Amino acid sequence: DCKFNCSQFCIAGNIGTAACDNKSGACLKGCQDGYMPSLCDKICSPGTFGKDCQFTCSQFCKTDASGTPVCDHVNGTCLNGCQDGYLTSMCNLNCPIGKFGQNCNFSCSPFCVANKQNIAECNHATGKCECQYGYETAWCNKSCDAGKYGQQCGSTCSKNCLVVNSTYCSHINGTCLQGCQTGYTDHFCDKFISENGGNDSDVPVGIIVGVILGLVAAAVIVVVIATIIWRRRKTKSSQNNNNSFNSMNNGSTAALNEPEMPKREKSQKVSNSRDKENIEAANDVAAAGIYYNDVPEVSPTVIQLKDLGMFLSSHSIPFYQEQFNVIPSNNEATTEVAERPENKIKNRYKNIWAYDHSRVNLMSSDNHKQDDYINASHIQGYNGQESFIASQGPMKRTTGDFVRMIWEQNTEEIVMLTNLIEQGKLKCERYWPEDGEMKVGEITVQLTTTQVFADYTIRKLKLRKDGHPDHLVTHFHFTAWPDKDVPQTPWSLVDFEQRVASYPTSKPIVVHCSAGVGRTGTFIALRNIIKQAEDKGYLDIFSTVQKLRYDRINMVQTSTQYGFLHRAAQVAILCMGTTVTSNDRQQRISYLDKTSQTGLTNMEQEFKMICNLKNDDEDDKEKNEYVNDASNVYQNSQNMNRQKNRLSNIIPKLLYAPVLQCETDYLGDYINAVFVQSFRKQNQQFLTA
């Protein structure tokens, strides 16, 4: 009686033609993709998809409880995402070289052995790799313990190395960093010095006596000849002295005050020599266990602004690692208050506490008796005055204390450098309302305005407390900084720093991330470095970080952040004075149109400087966390992809390249294009040829 309908997933026939058999219901032209023949009334069984369910889901799709890969029954896209180490909607592409993990979001350790393109390589799923000398663990994320060095830290420092503050030898090559024990010399302290001052090799006495007599005779001859020459020239010299002196007074004195600049070759040699002295001087400070808060202006780690570009071009990760490792800590500081039982629970991390001498003291009241501790520290600015408060991000139990500190310190600006949740972990409690207002202890926090930009958000908050006038706070929230890492590019952080600087305040700025040391220390260091460059014409990043660590532990937490500071400083110095308000727009345009001393207009000169900075990034052969070098791009050897590039030297960096979903052998997933963020959104636009 024809009471059943053909399945809606049968492939439809021509007009007037049945879609299924009038007796069995089998679909005459087959099923639509994703449905099982012949009735087409059931979706493909788990793990299969497509036409007649003949295809299997990628083995790299995430699986269900039974271990079966989960994908869309129609097109095979992985519904729950990819297993670690794979990309695209069908999880059929390995992470690019140098990346690993979930969605390829993680970078291989810079201390993994690099490939021919000088990119650190690791397992695309786990991140495990073969380590460079001086590093160990499966991920090469730990330098050798004191006393060990070399491949997988398998070698032991010489017993003749001098040991100071548990520092034995270089963890990379075993050279004795602090010198040798008495009686030994050479880089590895493996040469014995005999009592007569030489090495342990025996030299015949006759040879020694002969050499000495020869030297004495030669010295006598030299003295006699020098005496004769001196007597002959004495008269002539005395006659010329007066003329020479008069000549200097008649217009040559300027030469004394303006020495000739050395040639580039000589400058390079001097720079290399100074670099070695910088490390040695820093080692001496660390070895002595001394912390100097007042760093002299003429420091061995000073970099002149004119030399900054060359300095960055000639230094790589190992240099920053070595220098970072010898930045002194404040070993004299105490943490008695932070370690009290009632205060320990207020510290997010067990090893990051506020020093007693610099901690922020909350006010006591009837509601807060003997409750004056918060994990926050007063930090000096470049000029030695208190300019910042570095704080850990609020926890649930300390949110009230944090807002209370903002109120009591009369804070006008907060700089937040963490997202609330990162990689599934809570990094900071939200202390402002998403909308309207919220009560935090005795204080009401109201959100009045929100401005969202590509890399940061600016909020205006109003704090109210009974019996007191309202207090206004500007909240700067940078959202593009990974924990214990660095932003993808220094430009975003410099733009953010300039935005903060455009809001002048006479009150200390509260800066926090999660722990209040890594990202927080890096941002404060950048602010102080910029001030120093403006005031002195040079920068001293080593000493800047050293000063911060006097007031708070571990400020600038990793060598990657320390290296990033150098790049960010270069960009910030380049951008000095380029932020323009609408009122100053015409004045700025007039300046850009003027011709500079180079013969170029100021606009052309600035553009050239930007291009030079860009090229400097791309020519960097090291695998830096803060620079995506030019080799980190699509390098597919297939002619099909190469034919899609209009120009062979303009290809997208993999980090910014879109991946097409038409993944067939013919079309491929490659296009010569990059994502470009707008003023307010990331990845909002494409650039393509």
Distance, CA of 107 to CA of 124 (rounded, Å):
10
Q: What is the mean pLDDT of residues 673-679?
A: 72
**pLDDT of 424 over the 80 cut:** yes
Catalytic residue positions? 513
pLDDT of residue 226: 57
Among the ranges given (44-58, 67-81, 390-404, 639-653), the one the predictor scored with the smallest mean pLDDT: 639-653
Residues 437 and 489 in one domain: yes
Rg (CA), the chain: 34
Bridge partners, 136 (sequence order)? 142
Of residues 177 and 66, more confidently modeled: 66
Which pLDDT value is given to residue 239? 44
H/E element holding 408? helix 399-408
Beta bridge partners of 440: 443
Q: Is residue 441 part of a domain?
A: yes
What value does the mean pLDDT take over residues 114-143?
A: 88
Please name the residues in contact with 438: beta carbons below 8 A apart, sequence gap of 6 or more.
432, 444, 445
Residue 139 falls inside a structural domain: no
Both 541 and 657 in a single domain? no
**How far, in Å, CA of 170 to CA of 176, rounded?**
6
Q: Are strands 413-416 and 191-192 parallel, antiparallel or unpaired?
A: unpaired
Residue 678 included in any domain: yes
Give the alpha-carbon dihedral of 332, 336, 338, 344, to 10 degrees. Answer: 130
CA quadruple 428, 433, 438, 442: dihedral sign: positive
Q: Same domain for 501 and 585?
A: no
Burial of 26 (0-12, 13-18, 19+ CB in 10 A): middle
Residue 514: pLDDT band with limits 50, 70, 90: very high
Q: Into how many domains does the chain fold? A: 3
Q: Are 111 and 131 in contact (CB under 8 A)?
A: yes
Instruction: For residue 588, name the pLDDT band (cuts at 50, 70, 90).
Output: confident
The pLDDT of residue 585 is 82
266, two tokens: 């000589």
Q: How far is CA 415 from the centre of its chain?
A: 18
Please give the helix or strand (H or E) that residue 498 lies within, else none.
Answer: helix 490-501
Last residue of a domain, which of 540, 556, 578? 578
Residue 125 pLDDT greater than 70, yes or no: yes
pLDDT, tens only, 465-494: 998 999 999 999 999 987 667 888 899 999
**Once rounded to an integer, what is the mean pLDDT over residues 186-203?**
64
* Peptide bond connecting 38 to the previous residue in cis, omega within 30 degrees of 0: yes
Sign of the torsion angle spanned by Cα atoms 234, 239, 240, 242: positive
Whole-structure pTM value? 0.55
Q: Where are the alpha helices (DSSP H) in 248-358?
A: 254-257, 264-288, 308-313, 317-325, 341-344
Among 578, 608, 643, give the residue marking a domain's end: 578
Q: Residue 188: its pLDDT value, please?
A: 87
Which range marks the domain in which residue 395 is found?
341-578
Which residues, 6 or more positions from 69, have their beta carbon under 8 angstroms from its beta carbon? 47, 56, 57, 58, 59, 60, 61, 62, 63, 78
What is residue 237's predicted lDDT score, i.e. its pLDDT? 41
Flag whether pLDDT at 206 surpasses 60. Answer: no
Q: Are residues 408 and 545 in the same domain?
A: yes
Residue 145 lies in a domain: no
Query: Where is average pLDDT lowest: 167-181, 286-300, 592-606, 610-624?
Result: 286-300
Same domain, 531 and 645: no
Q: In sequence order, what E strands does 541-590 have? A: none
Q: Does 300 have pLDDT greater than 90? A: no
Question: What is the pLDDT, as a whole number, of residue 470?
Answer: 94
Say whether both 623 and 651 belong to one domain. Answer: no
Phi and psi torsions of 550, nearest 5°: -70, -35
684 or 443: which carries more pLDDT confidence? Answer: 443
In this prediction, residue 356 carries a pLDDT of 94
**pLDDT, the chain, mean:** 79
447 lies in the same domain as 407: yes
Whole-angstrom distance, CA of residue 393 vs CA of residue 306: 38
Whether residue 196 lies inside any domain: the answer is: no
Q: What is the pLDDT of residue 129?
A: 93
Highest mean pLDDT among 68-82, 328-342, 512-526, 568-582: 512-526
Residue 38 contacts by C-beta under 8 Å, 6 or more apart in sequence?
24, 26, 27, 31
Q: Do both 566 and 676 map to the same domain?
A: no
Answer left, alpha or beta for residue 484, where phi above 0 means left and psi between -120 and 50 means alpha.
left
Query: Per-residue DSSP letters for 317-365?
Result: HHHHHHHHHT----TT---TTTTSHHHHTT-SSTT----TTTEEEPPP-
Residue recorded with tokens 């207090």: 471
The answer to whether residue 157 is domain-embedded is: no
Residue 449 — pLDDT band, cuts 50, 70, 90? very high
**Do the domain assignments include residue 618?**
yes
Q: What gap in Å lies between CA 553 and CA 332, rounded to an integer?
A: 12
Residues 519 and 417 grouped into a single domain: yes
Residues 596 and 656 placed together within one structural domain of the fold: no
**pLDDT-derived band at 512, boundaries 50, 70, 90:** very high
Asked whether the beta carbons of 513 and 486 are under 8 A apart, the reply is no
Comparing 231 with 559, which gets the higher pLDDT? 559
CATH number at residue 543: 3.90.190.10
- Any idea what the Cα angle at residue 382 is, between residues 377 and 388, rounded to 5°? 30
Q: How far apart are CA 287 and CA 83, in angstroms?
A: 47
- pLDDT category at 624 given cuts 50, 70, 90 is very low
Three-state DSSP at 449 gives: strand
Cα 318 versus chain centre, distance: 14
- pLDDT (tens digit per residue) in 373-414: 999 999 999 888 789 999 999 999 999 999 999 999 999 999
Q: How confident is the model at residue 415 (pLDDT cuts 50, 70, 90)?
A: very high
> Looking at the structure, do residues 514 and 504 belong to the same domain, yes or no?
yes
Q: Quick: pLDDT tens for 234-265.
A: 444 444 444 433 333 333 333 323 333 333 23
Which of 209-223, 411-425, 472-486, 666-680 is predicted with the least confidence, judged by mean pLDDT? 209-223
Residue 586 within any structural domain of the chain: yes
How many residues make up the chain in this entry?
Answer: 689
In the chain, the amino acid numbered 207 is I
Write down which residue in 539, 559, 578 finishes a domain.
578
pLDDT at 623: 35
Same domain, residue pair 530 and 430: yes
